[in-house]
């Protein structure tokens, strides 16, 4: 056999082997970190996370994604079948993310505004136990910051204070012209969108821009406050990641920026991102609500959490 053919054979066998080794390594990680291990591993996971939160953590940085709001009835983006990106056929988009693409919006804002009608905060959805749990971390003086990718505003509605919340992908709380940047009354924009009276055109005399809520579209910059995470992570003593695929950058980058000595905990259906690559990673796999309930119980905070939930429903009930 000519040497070059032999080399090719050897190289391809090496690649197959390394891919196989990579799978095995993942397999080791998934065996080691996921909840698919024995119950003891899961309860041990939750017990050790709870005692760390109680005894050692006082600067918990939380990263939140759409999986946090699925229990509130809002679909996430990428869950097969139920995720938003699997259910946009009626908009006839060139690709799913176009609904949040600024160039596509300039060309045809209708898909986004149709979706926004349903998503506007405080119209159809309310916070769930996981949002109230984050509020409780704040009440207990343990919350450093919540970085959320969600635009549903449920963290605000749950009472997480402004100074502890970074809405990295924007929110519906304000609205601006996409051409001149002029701020517009968010209430007026909300009314127009909910009533389908869109697009809202810029009030500035010569501007022909369309107004949209200050949601960060693909192709737009994240709010400058997002980058403050660089100043925070050196002081973070626990990273808690909840309900996200960690697929979208630069947001997902935070998870790898916390110090190597900072424990990282993922509460998600399955392991994502680089979770499992560090010895002090913990993946609490499975349904987020169930995990938060078990974690609250292990912390002995059930009463406090129930009081927050009751307080929220009394307040929101009064407002309705």
In the complex, the residues that contact ligand APR under the rule CB under 6 A are 65-67, 70-71, 76-79, 83, 97, 100, 149, 169, 243-245, 247-248, 268-270, 272, 287-288
Contact at 8 Å (CB) between 13 and 19? no
Instruction: Closer to ligand APR by CB, 111 or 237: give it.
Output: 111
CB of 246 to ligand APR, least distance (A): 6
Instruction: Closer to ligand APR by CB, 176 or 291: give it.
Output: 291
The catalytic site residues sit at: 169
CB of 284 to ligand APR, least distance (A): 9
How many residues does this entry show for the chain?
320
Instruction: Closer to ligand APR by CB, 116 or 202: give it.
Output: 116
CB of 93 to ligand APR, least distance (A): 13
Can the peptide bond before residue 250 be classed as cis, meaning omega within 30 degrees of 0? Answer: yes
Residue number with the smallest Cβ distance to ligand APR: 67
SS3 35: coil
Phi, psi of 231 (to 5 degrees): -80, -20
Q: How far, in Å, are 52, 55, 138, 302 from residue 238 at the CA level?
A: 9, 12, 14, 21
Q: DSSP string of 92-133? A: --SSGGGGGBHHHHHH--HHHHHHHHHH-TTTS----HHHHH
Contact at 8 Å (CB) between 160 and 146? yes
CB of 317 to ligand APR, least distance (A): 25
Closest CA to 64 of 255, 217, 214: 255
Instruction: Closer to ligand APR by CB, 147 or 301: give it.
Output: 147
């Amino acid at each position: 056999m000519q040497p070059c053919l032999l080399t090719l054979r050897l190289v391809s066998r090496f690649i197959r082997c390394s891919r196989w080794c990579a799978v095995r390594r993942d397999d080791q990680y998934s065996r080691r970190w996921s909840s698919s291990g024995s119950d003891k591993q899961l309860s041990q996971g939750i017990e050790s996370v709870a005692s760390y939160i109680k005894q050692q953590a006082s600067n918990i940085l939380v990263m939140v994604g759409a999986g946090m709001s699925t229990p509130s009835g809002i679909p996430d983006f990428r869950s097969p079948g139920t995720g938003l990106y699997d259910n946009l056929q009626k908009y006839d988009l060139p690709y799913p993310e176009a609904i949040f693409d600024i160039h596509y919006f300039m060309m045809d804002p209708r898909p986004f505004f149709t979706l926004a009608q349903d998503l506007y905060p405080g119209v159809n959805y309310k916070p769930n136990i996981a949002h109230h749990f984050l509020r409780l971390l704040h009440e207990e003086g343990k919350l450093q910051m919540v970085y959320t990718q969600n635009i549903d505003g449920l963290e605000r509605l749950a009472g997480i204070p402004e100074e502890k919340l970074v809405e990295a992908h924007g929110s519906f709380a304000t609205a601006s012209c996409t051409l001149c940047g002029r701020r517009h009354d968010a209430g007026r924009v909300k009314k127009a969108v909910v009533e389908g009276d869109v697009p809202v055109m810029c009030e500035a005399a010569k501007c022909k821009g369309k107004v949209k809520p200050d949601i960060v579209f693909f192709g737009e910059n994240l709010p400058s406050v997002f980058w403050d995470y660089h100043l925070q992570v050196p002081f973070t003593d626990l990273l808690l990641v909840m309900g996200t695929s960690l697929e979208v950058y630069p947001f997902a980058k935070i998870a790898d920026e916390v110090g190597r000595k900072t424990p990282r905990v993922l509460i998600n259906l399955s392991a994502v991102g680089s979770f499992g690559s560090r010895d002090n990673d913990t993946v609490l796999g499975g349904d987020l609500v169930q995990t938060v309930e078990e974690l609250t119980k292990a912390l002995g905070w059930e009463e406090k959490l129930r009081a927050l939930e009751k307080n929220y429903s009394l307040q929101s009930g009064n407002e309705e």
